[in-house]
Chains A and B, each alone.
Chain A
């Protein structure tokens, strides 16, 4: 415990950088294995608008030149790495000429807001319910109700989303059907806007919480059963400690440790994992951006979004590595 040693920090930072570099390289290689030529696709899209494109050969050559596709691979790769590391992901081929970075910048806050809030809610509810499934003082009704609620976990999020939409939007009219904020609300730092965002975010967040809390609850249940049988829990009871204190400080405090690692890994998966939820709620986040980009074969956007996902996972793991020794004294930095 104590301060983080510099050598450890540098070591972890190097690993972080290496992970991101290798991932970025893979992102660059994989689309190039695809037989589809993005310039052809762009041209095809223009053609579908006007029937035919004049001078298509010249345009094709010009665009190929413009995107740098005539350069040797190492020049392309070097430019790609240099740009990627400065968050310049190029220009979208589907929404030409919008820069990819600005598209991601517009979508990212929505996803982070929705997903991180729902992940935190799920994490708290799931782990608490999992702990209560094991605790000997949990009221009997709860012990029956919690496993029954696990039924929701087996529903795919897309269905739970539709179900929630049907009940709360369509039938009861309590929540809006889609969008991230009201059409007649001006985006900005106002109470009005914040309220609208929460109002619109509630159903998508709920649809994620309902289907994912079981993941945490079942994991926590297993961990709690182990902790319940540990000698320190038995000694805690023999010490005459209050039962809630034992639950929080002795049982949950020890059982939660592996769950925190899982939490960090989930942060990176947030963006990728809930593509369909954003899709059905027409919520303009990263998931929807990625979904549309795949349909349009918009390589720069796919590359940009993938890179952001990898970066988030790597950074989350890096942070957990740094804070873990502070939450579990048995783990030491650099050990």
Chain B
């Protein structure tokens, strides 16, 4: 029996530049107890279609045509005909929503249990305090959180994964017919992602609700849903059982989406290259960490570590790990944004924290950075040319700025006439991130430090941007430190991989060994937690995910580094 029938729905957004047809003629049914994945790039209308069923479209969007039938309603089942009060009573009780922003989806000034109580009270009226307490205890218990502890906490005292499980507890506490989960794990690392996703599946199966999972990760879809609906620019291009879609997609766009997922051991998305140009030969290593550690108060973010990278033959060194593993701390130490608590960071033999102002300027020119958030990297009041031009002129590069900008844009696959002269908000996230790479390239640096450069852009664009970054090594002779949580991309782009866990390097070596055939328990856990777009590869169930977390707790202490081989020009020290 179907829970929700969407018939020929059209959704429009009137803007100053005319009406945008966000969703065009989409028809879909969601069966009870079944999981449907809505997949597509940002702007494909996947969230808009799902939110139309809750009548929660962002302003100024509206349903321009079609019907949405919630079959458990009495009488007229079309939710578009309900008045505001009737619609309010449908939300959460019949259709619940689990939001994307795990970090910010709970009211910061209310305790966790109070945020379950207000939902219950809004639909069931006044209950005694004891009844409410029992309800929130059951709800939190169901998602594997200790109600005695977690219920009394404020949201900021929870981790991202815990917050998202609280959202699942809220979303399931009134046993709705349908759950809409909007990229519920996009902000979480793979190990937490698996746990949260398995918890959601477990709860959904228990209450027998339908589930719409919105996302852009084909691997996550393959491991989580029964059917997949592929949307492109507001049009449903393909719909079918997950196995059919993954293994035998009909629409070229679907095949493109599947192909854009980089796989460990799969085909490389990088074009084969002739040998890269040699960098200059130096007496001292290009970058050297000598017993560097970092402490924040009582917390050790990075345990003492040493390595040396000579710049003669450019290389890509990947640093992988979960959030909190210390990988971004390493990045900021190497950029000199943070002083190490002990040890020295040396660039061409000079301690970067003891440089003269002039030497520091030269260091800044030669070491460039690419950060995670392509939205926050531009000053919104200036055209993007400013961001490209300013450092170029400031470092006295000489030569024609305009030519340099155009060359740099072309090098990262952008058409200069389409991006130069525009404001940041007029460009897509992918375009902005490529401009950041272009900006770095214009200064002909020796070293690029890229901290999660592709985690915020659409999956289909990641491969392209990483190829641009890879080109910096192959065509321009720049060495790169690639910081990421994504093992599959690290597998393809890097020459050497270091796996970081609680500030320790637990496994290091060439990617074919470290990621292709992991030896350390933590690396294995990371690899196992990756959702594969392959139905024959089991992601495990909720118990496996919990067992994995227990194993993670056991790894703690001072793990030994597993060395998996060396490459010329890079040496990882002991401790």
Contacts and interface: CB of A to CB of B under 8 A. Distances in A.
B504 to A, nearest CB: 28
A249 B108 CA distance: 11
Nearest to B108: A330
Interface string B81-111: 0000000111111001101110011111110
Interface stretch (A115-123, A143-151, A237-245): A237-245
Contacts of A231: 99-101, 104-105
Contacts of B90: 240
Contacts of A21: none
B139 interface: no
A235 interface: yes
Nearest to B104: A231
Given A239-B170, A242-B88, A245-B118, A330 B156 contact: yes
Nearest to A232: B107
A245 B89 CA distance: 14
Nearest to A328: B109
A249 B107 contact: yes
Interface in A106-161: 136
Given A234-B99, A240-B92, A329-B156, A253 B122 contact: no
Interface residues of A, number: 23
A240 B154 CA distance: 21
B244 interface: no
B404 interface: no
A230 B104 contact: yes
A245 B93 CA distance: 18
B154 A329 contact: yes
Contacts of B59: 136
Interface in A224-270: 230-232, 234-243, 245, 249-250, 253-254
A235 B56 CA distance: 10
A287 B154 CA distance: 44
Given A231-B99, A329-B109, A240 B118 contact: no
Contact of A249 (B56, B118, B154): B118
B167 interface: yes
Contact of B97 (A238, A241, A243): A238
B91 A237 contact: yes
B56 A254 contact: no
Contact of B93 (A232, A240, A250): A240
Contact of B119 (A241, A254, A329): A241
Contacts of A242: 88, 122
Contacts of B104: 230-232
Chain A interface, >50% SS class: helix
21 contacts: A230-B104, A231-B101, A232-B106, A234-B99, A235-B97, A235-B99, A235-B105, A235-B167, A236-B107, A237-B91, A238-B91, A238-B97, A239-B118, A239-B122, A240-B90, A240-B93, A241-B118, A253-B107, A327-B109, A330-B108, A330-B154
Return the 6 tightest CB-CB contacts between A and B, nearest first. A240-B91, A238-B97, A231-B101, A231-B105, A240-B92, A329-B154
Nearest to B94: A240
B108 A234 contact: no
A231 to B, nearest CB: 4
A241 B109 contact: no
Interface in A198-232: 230-232
A231 B97 CA distance: 11
User: Which of A231, A238, A250, A328 has the most chain B CB within a 10 Å cutoff?
Assistant: A238
Contacts of A238: 54, 56, 91-92, 96-97, 99
Interface in A299-335: 327-330
A232 B154 CA distance: 13
A291 B221 CA distance: 73
B91 A254 contact: no
A238 B154 CA distance: 20
B92 A239 contact: yes
Nearest to A136: B59
A131 to B, nearest CB: 16
B537 interface: no
Interface string B106-130: 1111100000001100110000000
